[in-house]
Amino acid sequence: MGKKREFDDWDETDEFDELGRGEKKGWVPVLIAVVLILVIAGIGLGAKLYDKYSYSKEEMDLSEYYDIGQEWETALVVQDEVIEEKAVCRDGNFYLPLEFVQDNLNDKFYYDKHERLLLFTTPTQLYEIPVDSAAYMIAGQPQENGKVICVLQDEMPYVELDFVAQYADFLSEIYEQPNRIQLYVQGQTSLAATIKKDTAVRYQGGIKSDVLEYLSKGDKVYVLEEMETWSKVKTEDSVIGYVENKRLTGHADEEIVLSGAYVAPVYTSIRKDYAINMAWHQTTNTTANSGIDSMLANTKGINTISPTWFFLSDNQGGFTSIADQAYVDNMHARGIEVWALVDNFTNDVDIAQILSTTTNRKNLIANLVQTTMAYGIDGINVDFEQVPMEAGEDYVQFLRELSIPCRQNGIVLSVDNYVPTDYTAHYGRKEQGEVVDYFVIMGYDEHYSGSAQAGSVASIGYVKAGIENTLKDVPAHKVINGIPFYTRLWKIAGDVSSEAMSMSAAENYLAQNGVTATWDQETAQNFASFEADGATYQMWLEDTESIRAKLDLMSGYHLAGVAQWKLGLEKAEIWDVIAEYTSKAQSYIQTANPVEGQAPETPVIQEIETD
């Protein structure tokens, strides 16, 4: 084997044998291939790096961003959020969804789908606005708006933006391509910032996210949320997306203030300067009216009486009346006001049909007020029960409309309500409390004739919960709490049944059966239970002690007064207990009577001991 040649011995002039020359030529393509591989790998790596760190230029369609699928649809941006509801653009005018207006701007707008009327109610006037019309009526007088006020889209009502702006305090800006409305329904402080270098607003926080809008140096945005490297922002034309923090500068708070040009009118109400002591007088015919003197013979301190005189009689708002002029004159001579009760349950009527149609409501209201004034009756006591959930809004509208002529003519408007439950939330207690003079809690029927189990008519806990839940929505100076003058004798023999008894009848029944009732701390009532005829009989008595417990509880809430169902079922000594309560309430009422026209105080719910 020959000597291996050292690298240093190599010279470009050396001649190679044929084998040597062949080896050198083989290296060249290998070297080229390696270089090419490296170049390609470098290009690939560079492409990957570019792809990873370069900014996407893909743009999102703003119609898709705002979820606009129909030509008429207009996006709504409320405060700093794009909401699901859409406005309508028609003939260059913009219309807000009525439900949005009611929930956020002014709840006194109402739509009658039967007569295709938009109504707007103030304390003194009713606006009647036909669909697709620029003309409308205020208190029966023709008006002209210049633009169609109410339109229907898919049978849903929408109200013209500028018309709403006359009756609500909010800020609005309209932007195009696509159509969108920025609304501020309340003032707020926003963090403003300036764009310090041209950039893009992206759908999400990341350089690969689609571009929503391009911004230039000096543009302003509102910073909604600041994260580590990105901030959620809203542009001046209400596009909400993300911008890198390094593109923002000059952060400063900016206050967005509503104009305050519209001030909602106050629903003024009649407020007596004494504690109400109202007895319901159940009358079912004209003959019963003549018995009022004997009914009042053993009473003390009644200053208001509510005879059950008006009964809805048909589905067009008609009612029958057993009002009696001599009765009214008699009460006035005694210094007692008369608040005539109107009910929806004496006759078989469809209360939803009556309340949901403007013509029917107007018919009922006009005749109620006319009859009330003709007899010199002092007030109307509305006792509509079992109003279905779908008619809740119609019921509130009826009370708004009824309050107008009552307010104008000095007629006291009071409304009877069940103890608040989830099942009666549609009665609109808060709205009632705003428009009526007095809100009466029917603080009884905790257990009633159809109850599946025996129990108290009005336990102290039930009364307490009823008052406190009412005061969450209604100011205390409008609340009258109704108490029962009756109890129930329960019979449990497989099935559960009961019969209502007066106070005296209940006590006599127990005496005849040799049963003595004992005080039950939990209900704050005397309780009796005994066995007879193979059945269990139970009774939670309403008597002097139970009534006193209820009235003592009520005193702590500074209510407007007390009502009793019903006159004639009580024992005479009850009136002394009630007089003690009204004397306490009188003192508070005379020192805490607010100035008429001012907003009522926020009710304060107090902890009242029940033992």
- Would you say 201 and 213 are in contact if contact means Cβ atoms under 8 Å apart? yes
- Would you say 511 and 505 are in contact if contact means Cβ atoms under 8 Å apart? no
Asked whether the predicted pLDDT for residue 35 surpasses 80, the reply is no
- Would you say 412 and 421 are in contact if contact means Cβ atoms under 8 Å apart? no
The confidence score (pLDDT) of residue 601 equals 44
Q: Which amino acid is at 325?
A: Q
How many C-beta neighbours within 10 Å does residue 476 have? 21
Q: What is the pLDDT of residues 368-377, one digit of tens each?
A: 999 999 999 9
- List, as one string, the DSSP characters of 137-154: EETTEEEE-SS--EEEET
Q: What is the pLDDT of residues 310-333, one digit of tens each?
A: 999 999 999 999 999 999 999 999
This prediction's pTM: 0.88
The confidence score (pLDDT) of residue 134 equals 98
Residue 112's closest CA among 434, 367, 404, 354?
354
CATH architecture of 64-182: 2-Layer Sandwich (3.30)
The confidence score (pLDDT) of residue 4 equals 35
User: How far is Cα 249 from Cα 408, in angstroms, rounded to an integer?
Assistant: 59
Start-to-end Cα distance in the chain: 121
* Phi–psi pair at 568, nearest 5 degrees: 105, -15
- What is the rounded average pLDDT of the residues 89-111? 98
With cut-offs at 50, 70 and 90, classify the pLDDT of residue 273. Answer: very high
The confidence score (pLDDT) of residue 575 equals 98
With cut-offs at 50, 70 and 90, classify the pLDDT of residue 51. Answer: low
The confidence score (pLDDT) of residue 41 equals 58
**Which class is domain 187-256?**
mainly beta
The confidence score (pLDDT) of residue 138 equals 98
Q: What is the pLDDT of residues 90-100, one digit of tens each?
A: 999 999 999 99
Q: Name the percent of the chain in helix, strand, coil, to the closest 5.
A: 30, 30, 40
Asked whether the predicted pLDDT for residue 342 surpasses 90, the reply is yes
Report domain extents, the chain: 64-182, 187-256, 276-484+543-591
Q: What is the pLDDT of residues 483-524, one digit of tens each?
A: 999 999 999 998 999 999 999 999 999 999 999 999 999 999
The confidence score (pLDDT) of residue 602 equals 39
Can you tell me which residue has the tokens 């007899």?
A: 375
The confidence score (pLDDT) of residue 13 equals 38
- What is the rounded average pLDDT of the residues 225-254? 98
What lies within 8 Å, CB to CB, of 239 at 6+ separation is 62, 65, 201, 212, 213
The confidence score (pLDDT) of residue 12 equals 36
- Would you say 396 and 441 are in contact if contact means Cβ atoms under 8 Å apart? no
- What is the rounded average pLDDT of the residues 159-178? 98
Can you tell me which residue has the tokens 């809004």?
A: 393
Asked whether the predicted pLDDT for residue 7 surpasses 60, the reply is no
- The alpha carbon of 593 is separated from its chain's Cα centroid by a whole number of angstroms, namely 27
User: Right CATH number for 276-484+543-591 from 3.40.50.1220, 3.40.50.300, 3.20.20.80, 3.30.1330.20?
Assistant: 3.20.20.80
